[in-house]
Structures are given as C-alpha cells and as structure tokens.
C-alpha cells in the first residue's frame, strides 16, 4: 500500500477526483489495496483522533476532510457469478466494470446514468438506476456487505436478467420547454418505464428506458434536435462518462408535484442558470415520494440559490436522497 502526505509526489493525484471545484485536504492518504490496508487506515484515524473520509471516484464529494483519506481506487476487483446471478465488487470498483462482466451472461446491474460512478458509494446512497421504476433501488439488491469499521470493503448484489433494453432520448430547443414539460407531466407512465426530464441550458432532454416495450409518441410535441428510441445494449442506456468538472447540487423528494409547481421550478432554475432534473418515482420504488428533483450548477457558492429554487416546491418536500448531493454539507 502507498501512503501519501502533503508535498509527496502523487499526493495531489490521489486526493483528486471527478469534482474539480474542491478536493480533500488530508494529513495523510492511504491508497488501500485490500481489507488489511483499510484496517491500518482506520486504526491510524482512531489512534490519532482524526476524521476519516473515503474516496473512490470523487463524484459524490460533499465535505472535504482534513484528516485521513482512504483512497479505494486500486481495490477494484469485480466478479460475476452467472449461476447465482450475482456480482461481488470491491470498494473501488466502478459500474462500467460490472456492466462489461455481466453482459456476456445476459445480466445487467442496476447502475445509473454514468458508468464511471463507484458501485459502493452509489449503492450506499440508494442507487437510482436507469431501470429504477422497473426493478427498484440498487440497495434493494444487496446480498452481503463486507466492512472494516464504517468502510465497505466489498458488496455482493443481485444482477437483473436483461439483454437489450428499450431506451432512448429526445432533445428539444429550450424555447419548447413549456410544451415538453406539459407532455412529460401528463404522461400516464407505465410502472416498468423509467424516464428523466432534464434542462441543460439551451436544451431540454427527455430520456427513458425499460426492458419491455412502451410508447413515447405523446412526447413529440415540438421539433426534436435529437430523437432516438429503440432496442439497444444496456451499456448504451447506462450513459457515457463525463469529463471531470466543477459543480454543486442538491435534491429533494416530493410527495406531490402539481403542474404549476413544476413550471415554477423550471423558470426559477433557468433564472438561476441551473440544470434541473425531474425523476418520477413510483413503480418498484417504494418511497412514498412521487418525484425526485435534482438541481445542479456548474460552479460553487450556490447553496442559497439552490434553496431558493427548491422554495417553488417547498410545500411538497418530504425528504432528500443521499445521492445527488454535491459539494454541499
Ligand atoms: C455525473 C453523475 C451521475 C450520477 N448518476 C447517478 C445515477 O444515475 N443514480 C444515482 O443514484 N446516483 C447518481 N449519481 C450520484 C452518485 O451515485 C453519488 O454521488 C455517489 O456517492 C458516488 O459514489 P462514488 O464512489 O463514485 O463517489 P465518491 O465521491 O468517491 O464517494 C462518495 C461517498 O460515498 C461514500 N463511499 C464511497 N465508497 C465507500 C466505501 N467503500 N465505504 C463507505 N462509504 C463509501 C463516502 O461517503 C463518499 O464520500 C451521479 C453522480 C454524478 C456526479
């Protein structure tokens, strides 16, 4: 195992991740390779009374540590068992590895829209998959957890039998946003379909996926910049990795989302130059919430603005998801 202190060659690489706006500032980084290494790092933190943070990819960095950083990226073994239809992923594994090993057996994991996200961090936060409404949260499929203290060293979880999936996306110019939001809100959504509605500056994107066929004709309410829908390998629906960047964001879970509140969110998010994500829940997601709302800004220092935009739906807020919290405490 390599251990890095400030000033060492490799220290900055080891503490850096997907979030480029902030980094951990640890006294020491333990670049762990196995559970024994994790034990040494945890013991060091305990002996010296230091806080201990874990980083795999840095996608979900919330509050940087000044104590011990356990960097798991070298500890990244993945095994797939086609007989039990399960996978075992070590602490530093990312979804792409599981997707690649499961695919030859007609199996897929409940991974999300970015295949370079860490398996463990994602699953500990619930794990909202591109097939979430059909199969539930990734955390529902966990069979065994290996731990050293609070650090998960490996997870064993069920895979889902699926080859190709029905999936696609539509992009609209933002001038058609109101009509697209109306159509999305009116969608009589079958329980097996998982859609997402996102505003990204000048465009509005709708994505959707299921292992079973469904219809999206009613969403074609305006000219599309892109309109793709068909049967495709799960890996394509699972999303491409993005380059590292600076971002801050948060989410809320809602017990209801009336149309006027949805439009209020859309307008307020646009005024604040933030990206808005709307994820309908229900189906196999047994949360009591109807929607998860995500906000994301490509900059830091927007904590107050995030809450001002969420004010549009404040009466309906019933909680927050642990995932989709970025650079917020
Ligand atoms: C571009 C992007 C797309 C995303 N898409 C989705 C999506 O589709 N669905 C979804 O549900 N989420 C999604 N997320 C959120 C993501 O699941 C969380 O941010 C998650 O925490 C990332 O885990 P990580 O290990 O990659 O990140 P890291 O920043 O390395 O870790 C995040 C946190 O997870 C915990 N953690 C990580 N490893 C361990 C471990 N071994 N033991 C104990 N705790 C650990 C720690 O608290 C750590 O601070 C996305 C995030 C981004 C940035």
CATH of the domain at 48: 3.30.43.10
Of the candidates 71, 87, 113, which is a domain's last residue?
71
Ligand 1 pocket: which of 31, 56, 292 to mutate (most atoms within 8 A of CB): 56
Specify the pLDDT at position 238.
83
Q: Is the CB of 54 under 6 A from ligand 1?
A: yes
Answer whether 320's CB lies under 8 Å from 253's CB.
Answer: yes
Residues composing the chain: 329
Query: What does the alpha-carbon distance between residue 109 and residue 95 come to, in Å, rounded to a whole number?
Result: 8
Answer whether 208's CB lies under 8 Å from 193's CB.
Answer: yes
Global confidence as pTM:
0.97
How far, in Å, from the CA of 275 to the mean position of ligand 1?
19
How far, in Å, from the CA of 63 to the mean position of ligand 1?
13
Number of domains in the chain: 3
Specify the pLDDT at position 286.
86
How far, in Å, from the CA of 117 to the mean position of ligand 1?
6
* Neighbouring-strand partners of residue 228: 169
Of the candidates 12, 44, 71, which is a domain's last residue?
71
Ligand 1 pocket: which of 31, 35, 59, 149 to mutate (most atoms within 8 A of CB): 59
Q: Are residues 171 and 307 located together in one domain of the fold?
A: yes
Q: Are residues 146 and 273 located together in one domain of the fold?
A: no
C-alpha closest to that of 20 among 301, 296, 247: 247
Of the candidates 161, 184, 211, which is a domain's last residue?
161
Which residue CA neighbors atom 46 of ligand 1 most closely? 54
Q: Which two tokens stand for residue 177?
A: 């946003």
Q: Which two tokens stand for residue 149?
A: 């203290």
Query: What does the alpha-carbon distance between residue 322 and residue 2 come to, in Å, rounded to a whole number?
Result: 30
Q: Are residues 301 and 213 located together in one domain of the fold?
A: yes
Q: Are residues 15 and 126 located together in one domain of the fold?
A: no
Specify the pLDDT at position 237.
87
Q: Is the CB of 117 under 6 A from ligand 1?
A: yes
Q: For residue 327, is it within any domain?
A: no
Closest ligand 1 atom to the C-alpha of 325? 19
Q: Are residues 178 and 301 located together in one domain of the fold?
A: yes
Q: Is the CB of 109 under 6 A from ligand 1?
A: no
What is the three-state SS of the chain?
CEEECCCCCCHHHHHCCCECCCCCCCCEEEECCCHHHHHHHHHHHHHCCCCEEEECCCCCCCCCCCCEEEECCCCCCEEEECCCCEEEEECCCEHHHHHHHHHHHCEECCCCCCCCCEHHHHHHCCCCCCCHHHHCCHHHHEEEEEEECCEEEEEEEECEECCEEEEEEEEEEHHHHHHHHHHHHHCCCCCCCEEEEEEECCEEEEEEEECCCCCCHHHCCCCCCEEEEEEEEHHHHCCCCCCCECCEEEEEEECCCCHHHHHHHHHHHHHCCCEEEEEECECCECCCCCEEEEEEECCCCCHHHHHHHHHHHHHHEEECCCCCCECCC
C-alpha closest to that of 69 among 36, 27, 40, 109: 27
* Average pLDDT, 10 consecutive residues per value, the chain (329 residues): 97 96 97 98 97 97 96 98 98 97 97 96 97 97 97 98 94 98 97 97 96 97 97 88 94 98 97 97 94 97 97 97 93
Q: Is the CB of 195 under 6 A from ligand 1?
A: no
In tens, the pLDDT along 56-101 reads 999 999 999 999 999 999 999 999 999 999 999 999 999 999 999 9
Q: Is the CB of 69 under 6 A from ligand 1?
A: no
How far, in Å, from the CA of 84 to the mean position of ligand 1?
26
For tokens 């080859």, the residue is 163
How far, in Å, from the CA of 60 to the mean position of ligand 1?
4
Which residue CA neighbors atom 7 of ligand 1 most closely? 112
Q: For residue 324, is it within any domain?
A: no
Answer whether 136's CB lies under 8 Å from 203's CB.
Answer: no
Q: Is the CB of 75 under 6 A from ligand 1?
A: no
Q: For residue 65, is it within any domain?
A: yes
Scored b (16 or more CB within 10 A) or e, 49-81 reads ebebbbbbbbbbbeebbebbbbbbbbbbebebe
Domain that holds residue 41: 2-71
How far, in Å, from the CA of 267 to the mean position of ligand 1?
29
């Amino acid at each position: 195992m390599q251990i890095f202190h400030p000033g060492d060659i490799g220290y900055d690489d080891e503490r850096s991740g997907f979030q480029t706006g902030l980094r951990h500032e640890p006294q020491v980084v333990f670049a762990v390779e196995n559970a024994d290494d994790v034990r040494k790092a945890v013991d060091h933190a305990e002996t010296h009374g230091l806080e201990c943070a874990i980083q795999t990819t840095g996608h979900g960095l919330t509050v940087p540590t000044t104590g011990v950083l356990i960097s798991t990226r070298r500890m990244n073994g993945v095994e797939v068992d086609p007989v039990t239809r399960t996978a075992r992923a070590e602490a530093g594994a990312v979804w792409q590895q599981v997707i690649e090993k499961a695919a030859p057996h007609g199996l897929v994991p409940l991974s999300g829209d970015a295949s370079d996200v860490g398996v463990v961090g994602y699953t500990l936060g619930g794990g909202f998959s591109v097939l979430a409404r059909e199969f539930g949260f990734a955390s529902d499929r966990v069979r065994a957890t290996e731990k050293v203290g609070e650090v998960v060293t490996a997870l064993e979880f069920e895979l889902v039998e699926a080859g190709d999936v029905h999936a696609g996306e539509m992009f609209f110019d933002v001038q058609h946003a109101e009509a697209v939001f109306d159509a999305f809100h009116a969608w009589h959504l079958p329980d097996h379909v998982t859609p997402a509605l996102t505003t990204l500056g000048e465009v509005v994107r709708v994505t959707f996926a299921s292992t079973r066929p469904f219809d999206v004709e009613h969403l074609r309410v305006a000219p599309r910049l892109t309109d793709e829908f068909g049967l495709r390998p799960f890996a394509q629906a699972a999303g491409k990795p993005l380059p590292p960047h600076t971002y801050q964001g948060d989410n809320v879970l809602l017990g209801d989302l009336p149309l006027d509140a949805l439009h209020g969110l859309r307008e307020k998010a646009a005024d604040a130059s933030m990206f808005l994500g709307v994820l309908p829940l229900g189906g196999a997601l047994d949360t009591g919430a109807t929607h998860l709302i995500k906000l994301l800004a490509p900059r830091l220092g927007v904590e107050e603005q995030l809450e001002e935009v969420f004010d549009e739906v404040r009466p309906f807020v019933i909680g927050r998801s642990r995932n989709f919290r970025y650079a917020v405490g």
